Structure 1
Amino acid sequence: MSRVLVTGGLGGSGRWIVDRLAEDGHEVMCVDQRFAESERGNVDVRVADLTDRGDVFDLVGAFDPDAVVHWAAIPDPLDHPGGEVFENNIVSTYNVLEAAGRADARVVWASSESALGFPFAAETPAPEYLPIDEEHPLRPEDPYGVSKEAGEALARATVRRHDVPVVSIRPSWIQYPGEYVCLGNEPPAEGVGNFWSYVDVRDIASIVAAALDADIEGHEAVFAVADENYADRETTELFAELFGEVPEPCDLSGDDASISNAKAAEVLDWEPEHSWRDAAAEDVDGPTV
Structure 2
Amino acid sequence: MRIAVTGASGKLGRSVVRRLREDGHQVTGLDRAGVRGPGFTQVDLRDYGQVVDVMLGLDDRHGGFDAVVHLGAIPAPGIMADAATFENNILSTYNVFQAARRAGVKNVVYASSETVLGLPFDVDPPYIPVDEEYPARPESTYSLVKHLEETMARELVRWDPALSITALRFSNVMDPEDYEGFADFQDDATLRKWNLWGYIDGRDGAQAVAKALERSVPGFEAFIIAGEDSVMNKPSRDLAAEVFPDVRVVKDLGEHETLLSIDKAKRLLGYAPEHSWRSVPPERLVPTEG
- Map Cα deviations across residues 40-69 of structure 1 (whole Å, 9 max, x no partner): xxx521111101111111111114210000
Contact 2:129–2:249 (CA under 8 A) maintained in structure 1: no
Name the residue aligned to 2:118.
117
Post-superposition CA distance 1:80-138 (Å, at most 9, x none): 1001111111110011011112223200000000111213x6xx122111211111221
Alpha carbons of structure 1 residues 270 and 279: separation in structure 2 relative to 1, 3 Å: farther
CA distance in 2, matches of 1:178, 1:103: 39
Give the length in aligned residue pairs.
274
Secondary structure at the residue paired with 1:83?
Answer: helix
Q: Is the CA contact 1:239–1:245 (under 8 Å) kept in the aligned structure 2?
A: no
Counterpart in 2 of 1:26?
Answer: 25
After the TM superposition, which residues 193-272 of structure 1 pair with which residues of structure 2 at under 5 Å, given as runs? Answer: 193-272=194-273
Three-state SS of the structure 2 residue aligned to 1:209 is helix
**Which position in structure 2 is the counterpart of 1:101?**
101
Q: Structure 2: which amino acid aligns with 1:146?
A: L
Distance 1:174 1:280 in 2: 20
SS at match of 2:91: helix
In structure 1, distance between residues paired with 2:154 and 2:104: 15
In the alignment, structure 1 residue 153 sits paired with structure 2 residue 154: no
Q: Return 133-142 or 198-207, whichever deviates more.
A: 133-142
TM superposition shift of 1:239: 2.1
Unaligned stretches of 5+ residues in structure 2: 58-62, 285-290
Q: Which amino acid aligns with 1:14?
A: G
- For the residue of structure 2 that corresponds to 1:111, the secondary structure is strand
Q: 1:203 & 1:58 partners in 2: Cα distance? A: 31
Which residue number in structure 2 is paired with residue 287 of structure 1? none
1: CA distance, partners of 2:30 / 2:182: 29
Q: CA RMSD in A?
A: 1.9
Alignment check: 8 A CA contact 2:118 2:125 kept = no
| Change over 3 Å in CA distance of 1:193–1:280 after alignment to 2 | farther
Maintained 8 Å contact 2:125/2:247? no
Partner Cα distance (1:183, 1:93) in 2: 36
Q: 1:242 to 1:212 in 2, by over 3 A?
A: same
Contact 1:175 1:182 in 2 (8 A): no
Q: Which runs of 5+ in 1 are unaligned?
A: 284-289
Deviations 1:133-183 (Å, cap 9, x if unpaired)?
111221112111111111111211221223311110011111111322444
Give the residue type in structure 1 aligned to 2:146: K
Code of the aligned partner of 2:274: E
Contact 2:126–2:247, Cα closer than 8 Å, also in 1: no
How far residue 271 of structure 1 moved from its aligned partner, in angstroms, is 0.9
For residue 170 of structure 1, give the secondary structure of its aligned residue in structure 2.
strand
Contact 1:104 1:164 in 2 (8 A): no
Distance in 1 separating the partners of 2:26 and 2:48: 24
1:7 correspondence with 2:6: yes
Q: What SS does the corresponding residue of 2:68 show, helix, strand or coil?
A: strand
My pick for the range that moved more, 197-206 or 227-236, is: 227-236
Query: What CA distance in whole angstroms lies between the structure 1 residues aligned with 2:36 and 2:281?
Result: 30
